[in-house]
Structures are given as structure tokens and as C-alpha cells.
């Protein structure tokens, strides 16, 4: 019987389909306990040494070389989601451990949430609600989304879905990506420009790129200085994309109008000064959290694990070169 260690906070907690599929296939599941969190490398290593799992099904916790080597039985690592910046894939590959993920399962949820945050910023929905509940009766004057220029940084799966939704509002769309998508230009009128031009010309800048060496801290002091004072910044991708100290300084000085943040460099961001600013709309890394997306991700995780242990190469495997040495 194969043992799966689940570090993801959401797998099996919101919907049960993935858990049920795995148990029917003979896998046992051990969840990380609340008192074992937060999961830094040392804590994760201790848990892995104790459980000695065949599979680690992870969320955002660090899966480093030390963690990977802590289990003598480890056969596989799978991410409950699409971003794998927390997993040391080269180390896993050197240990012949397949690493998998579940891309595209939460795309629509994140794109919908992006539009929700943009509308929230432009119309002051949260402050208006708070004011009304406190007895106020004020007219919050906003902006029409269709009259705004939206800068989309990253036009992968999520970025493309954001484009489709914005097209319905009639917004002008600028985009920046190292690999432009011609269909977006032809079908939706997206104009690809350099990052500097996008920052300078956009009323809303929304980030949808993965976290890697070349994107880490891509929005810092100099980039923020290029934005309009009336502009807003959204980050629903990864906290490490933004220099949070520079963002705090810029927002406090009203260098830009505000920001909407769903992700942070450290999560939860309990001591972040950004949370004290009135011009910051903060949510708790929930963009992907719908029942439908959780069902898709949980099912994808379970099916990918089962396929792998049946020696079937799933397209969700990121290092298929490990498969020749994989032992179910």
C-alpha cells in the first residue's frame, strides 16, 4: 500500500473526489496537521522523515533537496496547482523522482477573480460597503472599465482568459510577454509592447507570470516609478514578482492609486506593512478557490498519481526523463 503525504491545505478539504479516487486505488493519505504548520524546510523535512511517504502532494511548502532526501520511499512529488517554484525540480530529477503538476485547472477561477478585483478597485466596492455598514451614505465615484487601458503582464493560460473577459468590456489591452500570442492580437485587439511602455500607459497593471529567476522582483522601485499616479497594480500570481518594500513605499507616498494583492512574499503576511494601507485591497491567496476548480485539481492530482504508478507517462509530468528509472 502506497502512502501519500498531503501538505496542500486545500486537497481533500474542500471537495473529496481526489481523496476518494486515491483510496479506492489502495493509497493511504496522511495530511499535515494544523499544529505542524507553518511548513518551512526544517518542519517539512521532519514530517517527511516521520511519515516516509511514497508520494508528496504539496501546496506552497518548500520541497527542497533536503526534503526530497528525507524519505527513503519517495517515488513522486505532485503540486496541487500549477506554480512549481517551491519545488527543487533539478534535485528531484537527480534523485529520479518524477515531479508533476495540475496546469489549467484553476485558470477560469483566477481570471474571474482578476476581473472582480479590477472592478473592486475602479468602483470602490469594498470601501463603499464598509462605509454603508458604518452608517455612511456617500457617493463613491469610480471609472468605467471599458474606458481603461489594461496592461497584462504574461499571456499564458490565465492571461489569455483575462483578455477574453476584458474584451467584453471594450477595454484597450496592452500586453507584455517573452512569447507573444498572435491570436490575441488578431482576435481581441491586444497590442504587445515592451514592459516599460506597458507600465507607463496602463491604468491597471495585472501580473500573470510564473515566478522564476528572471521574473523575481520584476516590479520594483524603478518599474513602479514608471506607472501613472492614478494607476493600480494587481498581483494574483506569486508574491516574489513584486518588491514589497518598494511597493509599500510607493503606495504610502501615493505614487500609484492602489494595489490589489492575493499573493505575498511570505504567506500568511501577518507582519506585512502593506496590510495597514487603505489603498491596498488584500485577499488571502484565494483566486483559485472555487468548488469547481478544486474538484478539477483534486481529480487531476489523483489521476496523475495513479497513472504514474501504473507506469503511464502523464503529460503533467515535468521531468519525464526520470520515468525510465521509476519503480512503482
Q: Name the residues annotated as catalytic.
A: 238, 267, 285
Measured between alpha carbons, how far is residue 135 from residues 123, 131, 278 in Å?
19, 7, 19
Q: Rounded to 5 degrees, what angle do the CA atoms 253, 257, 259 make?
A: 100
Nearby residues of 60 by Cβ (< 8 Å), 6 or more positions away: 86, 267
Residue whose C-alpha is closest to residue 7's, from 54, 45, 44: 44
Q: Where are the beta strands (DSSP E) in the chain?
A: 3-6, 28-31, 55-58, 76-79, 99-100, 149-153, 172-176, 191-192, 204-207, 232-235, 258-261, 280-282
Cβ of 264: how many Cβ atoms within 10 Å? 21
Q: Is 296 helix (H, G, I), strand (E, B) or coil?
A: helix
Cis peptide bond N-terminal to 268, omega within 30: yes
DSSP tag of 219? B
Nearby residues of 165 by Cβ (< 8 Å), 6 or more positions away: 111, 112, 114, 115
Phi, psi angles (nearest 5°) of residue 292: -70, -45
Q: Which three cell numbers stand for residue 202?
A: 496602463
CA pair distance 192, 173, nearest whole angstrom: 9
CA pair distance 118, 9, nearest whole angstrom: 27
Amino acid at each position: 500500500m502506497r502512502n501519500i503525504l498531503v501538505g496542500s491545505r486545500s486537497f481533500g478539504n474542500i471537495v473529496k473526489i481526489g481523496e476518494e479516487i486515491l483510496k479506492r486505488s489502495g493509497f493511504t493519505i496522511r495530511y499535515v496537521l494544523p499544529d505542524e504548520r507553518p511548513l518551512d524546510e526544517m518542519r517539512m523535512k521532519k514530517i517527511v522523515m516521520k511519515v516516509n511517504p511514497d508520494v508528496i502532494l504539496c501546496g506552497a511548502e518548500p520541497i527542497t533537496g533536503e526534503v526530497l532526501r528525507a524519505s527513503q520511499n519517495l517515488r513522486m512529488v505532485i503540486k496541487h496547482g500549477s506554480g512549481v517554484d517551491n519545488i527543487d525540480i533539478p534535485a528531484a530529477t537527480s534523485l529520479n523522482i518524477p515531479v508533476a503538476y495540475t496546469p489549467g485547472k484553476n485558470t477560469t477561477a483566477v481570471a474571474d477573480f482578476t476581473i472582480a478585483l479590477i472592478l473592486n478597485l475602479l468602483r470602490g466596492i469594498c470601501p463603499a460597503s464598509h462605509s454603508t455598514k458604518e452608517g455612511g451614505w456617500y457617493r463613491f465615484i469610480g471609472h468605467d472599465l471599458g474606458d481603461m487601458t489594461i496592461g497584462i503582464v504574461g499571456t499564458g493560460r490565465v492571461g489569455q482568459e483575462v483578455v477574453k473577459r476584458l474584451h467584453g468590456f471594450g477595454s484597450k489591452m496592452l500586453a507584455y510577454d517573452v512569447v507573444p500570442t498572435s491570436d490575441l492580437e488578431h482576435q481581441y485587439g491586444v497590442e504587445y509592447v515592451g514592459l516599460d511602455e506597458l507600465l507607463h500607459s496602463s491604468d491597471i497593471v495585472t501580473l500573470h507570470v510564473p515566478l522564476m529567476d528572471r521574473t523575481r522582483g520584476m516590479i520594483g522601485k524603478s518599474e513602479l516609478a514608471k506607472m501613472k499616479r492614478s494607476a493600480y497594480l494587481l498581483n494574483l500570481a506569486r508574491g516574489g514578482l513584486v518588491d514589497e518594500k518598494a511597493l509599500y513605499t510607493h503606495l504610502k507616498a501615493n505614487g500609484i492609486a492602489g494595489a490589489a494583492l492575493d499573493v505575498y512574499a511570505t504567506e500568511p503576511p501577518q507582519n506585512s506593512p502593506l496590510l495597514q494601507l487603505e489603498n491596498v485591497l488584500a485577499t488571502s491567496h484565494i483566486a483559485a478557490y472555487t468548488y469547481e476548480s478544486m474538484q478539477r485539481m483534486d481529480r487531476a492530482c489523483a489521476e496523475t498519481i495513479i497513472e504514474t504508478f501504473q507506469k503511464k507517462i502523464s503529460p503533467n509530468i515535468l521531468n519525464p526523463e526520470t520515468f525510465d528509472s521509476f519503480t512503482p
